[in-house]
Structure 1
Amino acid sequence: MEADGLVRRRRMSAEPPGGDGAVAGASAGAEVRWIGGRIWALSEGIMGTLSPRIGSDSELNMVQLHGSQEVTEISEPDYEGLPQGASTSTYMLAGAVAGIMEHCLMFPIDCVKTRMQSLQPDPAARYRNVMDALWRIMRTEGIWRPIRGLNITAVGAGPAHALYFACYEKLKKTLGDVIYPGANSHLANGAAGCVATLLHDAAMNPAEVVKQRMQMYNSPYQSVLECMRCVWRHEGTGAFYRSYTTQLTMNVPFQALHFITYEYLQEMLNPHRLYNPSSHMISGALAGALAAAATTPLDVCKTLLNTQETLALHSMSPGRAHISGLAHAFRTVYRLGGLPAYFKGVQARVIYQMPSTAISWSVYEFFKYVITKHQLERLRMQRDGEK
């Protein structure tokens, strides 16, 4: 195919000559593109209505070969921004798939993180490390225990990440054109990530409350619906958003640091911004680890607000109904464990976040690439049919 040939030539010109790493990277990229083509062929009927519009005469250019022969080729689009006129649904679809895969694949580690952040854990729920926790949970509570609450997480992650990535992509480009036209702006990336977080957390916070209550040791809830009914009946609708301000306080700096680090690493590892799975995974993993470690104290407070840990409530205020607000949560954490308590579960959080963000970015960038490539091939076929 002409489009395939052009993509291969563009990638080879950007890679250093020789070296096993270059060969392995090219081979991995070819395999991913082949798999993407097969996936797209199966889902073309559904995706047709969601695909971006690509098709202006400027996307066809005449390339001179050896000074005389002219052939018509379709230029490769700006991969990071997608072609102008691209539908927002492209970002939303890629983001939804990435979010669901990220949360589902890493859910057992997320369960361990919630347990290890408990301020007053039951003696049977005190773990040495992540693997010890995972093994003991499966051995004593059942093999399926670490994935309780997975269904509500998947339901929340789809729309939350669809809004998240769509908002980020649109704002990144809009703010970037204002702040630093024609170049990558770290300020625009960070600001876009912060605004995208507002939408993401608004959609995800109720699911987080139910998920974390299902994950706690000796959780009294047998199902997601039962948990939702009990929270609604005994604590009111506000309980589903009790930790929203805390989540924003945590996620705004988290996402700003995350996106700035990711885009910076992409400049270092993938300056030509081609589709490069290994660079997306490495950048995502390192960005996620740094942001996760820096914001762990806020995550501990968020977990306390979401779970309303019974032993912590009784030890602090025997007659108090619940812990409310970020300031109250901070005071409670300090009184029960001092400064080290703010970093409870930091190991599990980093171990969770590194593969989680690596999966999220690699899946998201993969779907962006597949959608763009599919549209170019369709455009070429339409042009050929008109001749």
Structure 2
Amino acid sequence: MGTISGSKATDQAIAGCLSGSFSTATLHPLDLIKTRFQVDASRLPRRALGGTVDAFRTILRSEGWRGLYRGVGPNLLGSSMSWGLYFYWYEISKTWIQSESGTQLGTSDYLLASTAAGLATQFLTNPIWVVKTRMVTQRATDATRYRSIIDAVWRMYRSEGFGAFYKGMVPALLGVSHGAIQFTIYEELKGFRRRWGQETMNAKPGPVEYVLMAALSKIVATVATSPAQVLRARLQAQPEYGGTYSSLSDAFVKLLRNEGVRGFWKGLGPNILRVLPSTMLTFGMYEWLVAAFAAFEPKKGRV
């Protein structure tokens, strides 16, 4: 089995970075709408599909096409780094666990590896996600809007200090369970498919099967961890866009009291509409790249 970089973990990181960037660039408008729904503190119920379409039309009418891609820079940077780092640390963690146990990896091992990868990735990328949240929730008419990533970083640091970049870190760490749930289910589904294939003499899983397994695991993880995502968005947003909470517990109590239990699942509609094609694109492209890298054989004589 070959490798394009000389390291399987680095190959995984490259594949994750490229696939994550591609899906993020394609589906950013849905991510923008999801985040705006999450920071909206009103009690008004939103329809999953109808509300998303209405929001799309409103943004297009009031802010133009550029409005739909507001904050795409930090989103691309954060997604490429997150997917790359996550797949890298996930592979490293799995390899270490297997070398220590000397046995085939099980459900608890996948859960441990994905949790460790998620914690490391979240700590390194949280500042980028804070900037992204700030930029996607501002409107074109805002006089004080950030003009770029650098402008946002400089102004946030000057007015709020270094701590601003780690706002929402506690719910973000709680949200690490998202990746743990997703990857555990994904690995279990892949294992089941391989065992079933061996018993029935079927071919190895194809791209479509990988995509379907990834989509199912992503939906379960998204629904289960939506409250943590909503709380993180509220804490990271600017005060005028819902970021008026002093702590995680303050955000939890106010959200529950003012918006009810349904408030913790705000933005779930556009999020599901986003994560389905996003996951299909990301994991489909990821599995294809990993297979292509593994089949790579350097020419003889090449240094």
Equivalent in the alignment of 2:151: 226
Q: Secondary structure at the match of 1:144?
A: helix
Cα deviation, residue 259, structure 1: 0.9
Distance apart, 1:269 and its partner CA: 3.5
* Aligned counterpart for 1:250 among listed residues 157, 169, 175: 175
Aligned match of 1:68: none
In structure 2, the partner of 1:35 is none
Q: Secondary structure at the match of 1:148?
A: coil
1:310 aligns to what?
240
Cα 1:222–1:122, aligned 2, differ >3 Å: closer, same or farther?
farther
Pair 1:94 & 2:27 matched = no
Q: Equivalent residue for 1:109?
A: 30
Alignment match, 2:226: 296
Which residue of structure 2 aligns with residue 286 of structure 1? 216
Structure-1 residue corresponding to 2:249: 327
- Equivalent residue, structure 2, for 1:200: 121
Query: Where do 5+ consecutive residues of structure 1 fail to align?
Result: 4-47, 54-85, 314-321
Determine the C-alpha separation between the residues in 2 that align with 1:148 and 1:259. 30
Offset at 1:122?
Answer: 12
The DSSP-based 3-state class of the residue aligned with 1:233 is helix
Q: Which one of the candidate residues 359, 362, 367 is aligned to 2:284?
A: 362
Tell me the equivalent position of 1:28: none
Kept in 2, the 8 Å contact 1:296–1:349? The answer is: no
TM-aligned CA distance change 1:177 to 1:192, over 3 Å: same
1:353 aligns with 2:288: no
Structure 1 window deviating more from structure 2 (154-163 vs 101-110): it is 154-163
Q: Tell me the distance in 1 between the aligned counterparts of 2:57 and 2:135.
A: 18
* 2:84 is aligned with 1:131: no
TM-score (norm 1): 0.68
Task: State the alpha-carbon separation in 1 of the partners of residues 285 and 106 from structure 2.
Answer: 24
Aligned residue number for residue 4 of structure 2: 51
Q: Say if 2:43 and 2:258, in contact at 8 Å, map to a contact too.
A: no
1:265 is matched with 189
User: Which runs of 5 or more residues in structure 2 are unaligned?
Assistant: 198-202
Q: Distance in 2 between matches of 1:139 and 1:103?
A: 23
Q: What per-residue deviation string (whole Å, max 9, x for no partner) do you get for residues 186-227 of structure 1?
A: 111111111111222123211111111111153541422332
Aligned residues of 1:104 and 1:154 also touching (Cα < 8 A): yes
Structure 2 CA distance for partners of 1:382 and 1:226, relative to 1, 3 Å: closer
Q: Is the 8 A contact 2:193 2:205 kept in 1?
A: no
Partners of 2:241 and 2:281 lie apart in 1 by 36
2:4 aligns to what SS in structure 1?
Answer: coil
| Superposition deviation, residue 101 in structure 1 | 1.7
1:327-374 Cα deviation digits (max 9, x unpaired): 122112112212121111111222222222222211211111111111
Paired residues, what number? 290
Is the 1:119–1:341 Cα contact (8 Å) retained in structure 2? no
Shift in Å, 1:167:
0.9
CA–CA distance in structure 1, aligned partners of residues 68 and 296 of structure 2: 38
**Do 1:112 and 1:348's aligned partners in 2 also have CA atoms closer than 8 Å?**
yes
Name the structure, 1 or 2, with higher relative contact order (CA <8 Å, separation 6+).
2
Deviation per residue, 1:71-98 (Å, 9 max, x gap): xxxxxxxxxxxxxxx4432122112112
| Paired position in structure 1 for 2:263 | 341
- Matched AA of 2:63: E
Aligned residues of 1:284 and 1:357 also touching (Cα < 8 A): yes
Q: 1:312 to 1:306 in 2, by over 3 A?
A: closer
| Higher helix proportion | 2
Aligned in 2, Cα 1:160/1:312: closer, same or farther, shift over 3 Å?
closer
